[in-house]
């Protein structure tokens, strides 16, 4: 009953796993991709015309499975990161405020920040400070303030609640402000460049 | 919310005020705090500056 080609297809499994591993860097995902590819290959073996080698044909099927899994994995990572990002709320806020809720480093008065908007050095610092934010905070701030999206859209996209979103934005604004003060507006910042 | 807020809470309210209207209690507590705290007044004006800078950034910065 068994198709002789079944054994032949199976014989390529180790190679296919190696290929999948090189693309996915995750053993379990790689096995999963290969399994799906082999099932698909058996279903459509009739369409294999022998113009390429069997291995090449199998690899082309596997490549689609790999891309599909990469997309799914990226989505899961993304959501994990988002939901994980507010877990350390107390930790970061304690760096900025003491136990009585006072600023550990007092925000200074910035001299003529408007003028900085015309300076290249300010925009370099702005980008540097955006990059320095935790990933979720940087992403949410970017969507909210730079793209001007509304909070509802961001919550939906990030799969977080509105209050989580506000916490993340609070964190981002505090972080960005502190970073800009250090690099552009604080005492001694002018000497730095 | 009523009564006094500390700097941490004031900074939170200043940030949240960009997202939703503060209720009367929040607003009063915040104004009372700002009236007495130069650091938080600095923070307040810097948040407004951040928004302005972000809008400029979207259209290409300098």
Domains and CATH numbers, chain A: 4-80 (1.10.1740), 85-192 (no CATH)
Chain A: residue nearest B8 by CA? A101
Res B61: pLDDT: 45
The tally of CA atoms less than 13 A away on the side-chain side of residue A25 is 3
Task: Report the mean per-residue pLDDT for chain B.
Answer: 90
* Chain A positions with Cβ closer than 8 Å to B: 93, 96-97, 100-103, 106-110, 113-114, 117-120, 122-123, 126, 141, 145-148, 151, 162, 165-166, 169-170, 173-174, 176-177, 180-181
The pTM of the full predicted model, rounded to 2 decimals, is 0.65
Q: Give the integer Cα–Cα distance in Å for A7 and A81.
A: 42
| Rounded CA separation B7/A184 (Å) | 23
Minimum-distance CB partner of A145 among B6, B54, B62: B54
Stretch A7-13: mean pLDDT: 87
User: Which value does ipTM take for this structure?
Assistant: 0.93
A23-78 per-position pLDDT tens digit: 676 888 889 999 999 998 988 888 787 777 888 889 888 988 888 887 777 766 65
């Amino acid at each position: 009953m068994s198709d002789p080609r079944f054994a032949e297809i199976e014989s390529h499994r180790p190679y296919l796993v190696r290929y999948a591993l090189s693309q996915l860097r995750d053993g379990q995902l790689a096995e999963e991709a290969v399994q799906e590819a082999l099932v698909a290959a058996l279903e459509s073996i009739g369409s294999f015309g022998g113009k390429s080698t069997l291995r090449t044909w199998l690899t082309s099927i596997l490549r689609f499975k790999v891309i599909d899994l990469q997309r799914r994995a990226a989505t899961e990572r993304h959501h994990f990161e988002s939901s994980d990002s507010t877990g350390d709320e107390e930790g970061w806020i304690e760096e900025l405020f003491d136990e009585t809720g006072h600023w550990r480093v007092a925000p200074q008065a910035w001299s003529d920040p408007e003028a900085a908007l015309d300076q290249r050095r300010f925009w370099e610092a702005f980008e540097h400070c955006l990059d320095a934010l935790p990933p979720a905070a940087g992403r949410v701030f970017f969507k909210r303030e730079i793209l001007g999206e509304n909070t509802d859209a961001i919550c939906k996209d990030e799969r977080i609640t509105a209050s989580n979103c506000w916490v993340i934005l609070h964190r981002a604004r505090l972080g960005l402000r502190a970073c800009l003060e250090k690099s552009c507006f604080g005492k001694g910042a002018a000497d730095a460049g | 919310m009523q009564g006094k807020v500390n700097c941490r809470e004031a900074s939170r309210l200043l940030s949240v005020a960009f997202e939703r209207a503060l209720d009367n209690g929040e607003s009063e507590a915040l104004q009372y705090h700002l009236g007495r705290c130069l650091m938080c007044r600095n923070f307040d004006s810097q948040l407004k500056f951040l928004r302005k800078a972000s809008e400029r950034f979207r259209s290409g910065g300098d």
